[in-house]
Copies of this chain bind each other. A is one copy, B any other.
Amino acid sequence: MVTQNDRPTLEDVAAFAGVSRSTASRALNGDPNVSRQAREAVTAAARDLGYSPNQAARSLVTRRTGAVGVVLSEPEELVLADPYRTSVMRSAYRELADLGSQMVLMFCDGREDVARTVRFLDGGHVDGALVFAPHRADPLPRALRPLRPPVVFGGPAGNLSRGVHVVDFDNESGARLAVEYLLRHGRERIATVAGPQDQTAARHRLSGWRKTLSAAGFDSTDLTDLAEEADFTLDGGRAAMDRLLARRPDLDAVFVASDLMAAGALRALHDAGRRVPGDVAVVGFDDHPALATAMNPPLTTVHQNPADQVRHMVATLMALLAGEPIRPHRKVLEVLMKVRGSA
């Protein structure tokens, strides 16, 4: 016993409508050179027969699948727990859907996943890919380079710096803005909770903090004291803040490299009896819509808009798919301070 193989083909529709396969194809694809009569007959036939075109056959000849891969090169449990990443996914989904492309979501965690990802992207399943590979040691970007379908990276492409299309935020400037703001408001001992230093964005945020303070005349050994690394999670941010408070009880401000960590830092400060922003000013990074405003006090933070990033990435990808000769380059998006209550 076999399943129903009664799936109608274009040929069936054409026969039913009393025209040729070519005409049926034209009618269904909106070619203007079809008589109204033929068009109507074909449309009706397609409806009556429950016809839907075979995508495999179509993309075999058009060389388009209508799908775009979105690759998050991180363990999936991490991605889905991170509000910033999920909002990237969301924007990507919406942006692509509006352009008529389907998002094919992939996580890439570990060696065999790299091979699987490469095979998938190179196998013609998708027209192109949007790739987020924040870790410096990630082998994926390099593995992706020789592939046929165009790839646009969101944020740093592992340790690749040339020959790739990148849409990134100006993390260092963001950190500078935050620190300058704190300095301008009279803060004198500005600590930082940095992100994991195996991620380029986290490094840039840290170096922005360091450079700005150095330029303002702060001692570099002093700075070492005022920095703690955490892992972009709430608990990590909290623990890092605890360590900072233990080592430098005199700190009066902290620049935290993500909103989620800032939430943790806020909690640590609260538990330690420090008032925010009275005793300690806190500036976050991301400006996550739900998170930043929900905190108490609402978080002053560096605003970056993942939807913007995704929009640029999609635009670049579409241009590439349209055959426009775009030279691989790194587009850097501005970030800006969003002042709320915490600093």
Q: Which residues of A contact B (CB under 8 A)?
A: 1-4, 7, 50, 52-57, 59-60, 65-67, 76-77, 80-81, 86-87, 89-90, 93-94, 97, 102-107, 113, 116, 119-120, 122-125, 146, 148, 290, 323, 325
| A to B CB contacts below 8 Å, 16 in the list | A3-B323, A4-B148, A7-B148, A52-B119, A54-B60, A55-B123, A55-B124, A56-B59, A60-B60, A66-B125, A76-B90, A80-B87, A80-B89, A102-B104, A102-B125, A103-B104
Given contact pairs A55-B56, A56-B65, enumerate 4 new A-B contacts (beta carbons under 8 Å). A55-B124, A80-B87, A86-B86, A102-B125
| List of B residues within 8 angstroms of A3 by Cβ | 323
Query: Would you call B103 and A50 a contact (CB within 8 A)?
Result: no
Residue of B nearest to A148 (CB): B7
CA A86 – CA B93 in complex, angstroms? Answer: 15
Residue of B nearest to A5 (CB): B63
Residue of B nearest to A6 (CB): B148
Query: Would you call A76 and B55 a contact (CB within 8 A)?
Result: no
Q: How far is the CB of A259 from chain B (nearest CB, A)?
A: 15
| List of B residues within 8 angstroms of A146 by Cβ | 50
Residue of B nearest to A102 (CB): B120
Q: Which 3 pairs of residues, A with B, have the shortest CB-CB distance?
A: A80-B86, A56-B60, A105-B105
CA A2 – CA B124 in complex, angstroms? Answer: 18
| List of B residues within 8 angstroms of A323 by Cβ | 1-3
Residue of B nearest to A69 (CB): B102
| List of B residues within 8 angstroms of A125 by Cβ | 55, 65-67, 102
Assess A52 versus B104: contact at CB under 8 Å? Given A57-B60, A81-B86, A90-B80.
no
Residue of B nearest to A60 (CB): B56
CA A22 – CA B323 in complex, angstroms? Answer: 34
CA A54 – CA B63 in complex, angstroms? Answer: 10
